Amino acid sequence: MMQSAPTRKQGDPFKGLGVVPVVYSQGWARNRLLGRGTPPMLLSFRFANHRSFRDEHQLNLMPVYGDGAEADELAPQAVQVVGIFGANASGKSNCLGALGFMRQMVVESDRAVEPGVGLSREQFRLDPDIATQPSQYVVDLMLGGVRHTYGFTIDDDRVLDEWLYHYPLGRRRRIFERDGSEFSWGEESGRRPLEQIAEITAPTALFLSTVARFGHSRPEPDPANPQPLHDTYRWFYLMSQRTDPASGLSALMRAGSSDAEKVRQLVVDLLQAADVGIVDIVVRTDADPEEQPAQNALRKWLRTAVASMRLPRIQFAHQGPNGTALLDLHDQSSGTRQLLTLGLHAAAMLRTGATMLIDEIDASLHPILTAKLISLFRSPQANPLGSQLVFTSHDAALLGTIDAEEILRRDEIWFVEKDGQGTSSLYPLTDFKPRKEGENRQRRYLNGNYGAVPDLSSHLFEQALATRGDVDDTSTR
């Protein structure tokens, strides 16, 4: 019997998950009292009725410790990296997309309000009964050393409910709760200004999104004066997905940017380390040689304004037998462009401490390069602000080791599998009992021990690709 999308749960999402609840330890509270900064972190993400995910599923980033091990109170409260693996069309991209959809709602829902127009949600459509049920999205975050829970439920027409709680000293405190157009507030929320914003919040807009629009968000967090609404919105705002290499590189290196040289050197180092034949990057901001000199003050002013907006031309110096040659981005291989895309994306996230989402991280990249990018997020030197990486992949090599070092820990590996009814399921590797010594995860995964692999019929596959006498092979030439 199919289950309907669940309603909001008031219980503890970490209960019964077999993890050490570091967020309830006294370590982070003591650090906060001592003025020690705690990076923002995603602790868990729950969602239901989103694309191929019919029922509620949870991506839990809390570390899992071995028998007898104790959590270090000063250690990060969540893993820095999560890899989601599965077959083609299993739904792993939908898992990542659910978190991306939640971000889109938080950042943009107040701007997309049109009278008489409902919400463009992405519910499970293979069952008509489930398709009419609400969709739900919930995150647990660590912000300023304090756990926060934010979530909302929507249908095709409106936001049904929305809530934000925080847990100073481990005890839940309400910031706000919304039931349709009715709001209730916590004691520390500053009721009057929030009530005014609640009155103008559209049925299809999130309250958190509307608060940010009307001047109640701030660009930087203030550890001395934490604001749950502001800090929660900022976490979503900074979360980013893949950057186009051409526009991303040019924008970061725009003339006058204080970070231009740092970004250029970072990209050069990355490309040199990857051994793709590029020895330098040349940034050209020359004016168009066919452009005529300005004839008057107005034209001079216009030229100056346009020049300030012009994106520089980026060229790559390749080492050849007779010196270096400059080539444009479109002359680079797909692997080099992919490396640039991920490198720029990672550089932006590592500078802000934001969460980075990457679908198919292994596309066009050698596993060693992919593993190196993953390792950046575990390095205190490269990632001092605690940025997190959540990615999908079907490259089983990432489940293995390089130089006897595992690329991903057991509690950083998740799988997505789709059943015969088109329903996806999300589950962690830690659901499987580890072997005593020398567990070859890559081999066990490819052998189907963890599921989440293609159920391929060799006979049908060969039959489908076999040359038929009634097919004119000239059509493929």
Q: Shortest CA distance to 361 belongs to which of 383, 376, 351, 380? A: 376
Residue 314: per-residue pLDDT: 80
- Strand 278-284 vs strand 313-320: parallel, antiparallel, or unpaired? antiparallel
pTM: 0.80
Q: Shortest CA distance to 313 belongs to which of 250, 224, 245, 381? A: 250
Residue 276: per-residue pLDDT: 85
The SS3 assignment for 333 reads coil
pLDDT tens, residue order, the chain (477 aa): 344 443 433 333 333 322 222 232 333 333 333 334 578 999 999 999 999 999 999 999 999 865 434 444 444 479 999 999 999 999 999 999 999 999 999 999 988 777 767 788 999 999 999 999 999 999 999 998 899 999 999 999 999 999 999 998 889 999 999 999 999 998 766 678 889 999 999 999 999 999 988 865 444 555 545 589 999 999 999 997 555 555 556 555 554 455 677 777 777 887 888 888 898 888 776 544 444 454 566 666 555 555 555 556 788 899 888 888 999 888 988 888 888 878 878 887 888 899 999 999 888 788 888 898 899 898 988 899 999 999 999 899 999 998 888 999 999 999 999 999 999 999 999 999 876 667 889 999 999 999 988 876 666 667 777 755 555 555 555
Given a contact cutoff of 8 angstroms between Cβ atoms, the answer to whether 143 and 236 are in contact is no
Given a contact cutoff of 8 angstroms between Cβ atoms, the answer to whether 314 and 218 are in contact is no
User: Alpha helix locations (H) across 255-333?
Assistant: 260-273, 297-309
Return d(Cα 434, Cα 64) in angstroms, integer. 13
- Strand 81-86 vs strand 57-60: parallel, antiparallel, or unpaired? unpaired
Token pair of 286 as six digits: 């020359």
Report phi then psi at 272, rounded to 5. Answer: -65, -40
Given a contact cutoff of 8 angstroms between Cβ atoms, the answer to whether 429 and 61 are in contact is no
CATH 3.40.50 in the chain is located at 22-240+354-440
Q: CATH classification of 22-240+354-440, choosing from 3.90.1520, 1.10.287, 3.30.420, 3.40.50? A: 3.40.50
Report phi then psi at 137, rounded to 5. Answer: -140, 130
The SS3 assignment for 235 reads helix
Return d(Cα 234, Cα 336) in angstroms, integer. 32
Residues whose CB is less than 8 angstroms from the CB of residue 367 and which lie 6 or more positions away in sequence, other chains included: 395, 397, 398, 402
Given a contact cutoff of 8 angstroms between Cβ atoms, the answer to whether 171 and 248 are in contact is no
Given a contact cutoff of 8 angstroms between Cβ atoms, the answer to whether 27 and 36 are in contact is no
| Radius of gyration in angstroms for the set of CA atoms belonging to the chain, rounded to a whole number | 25
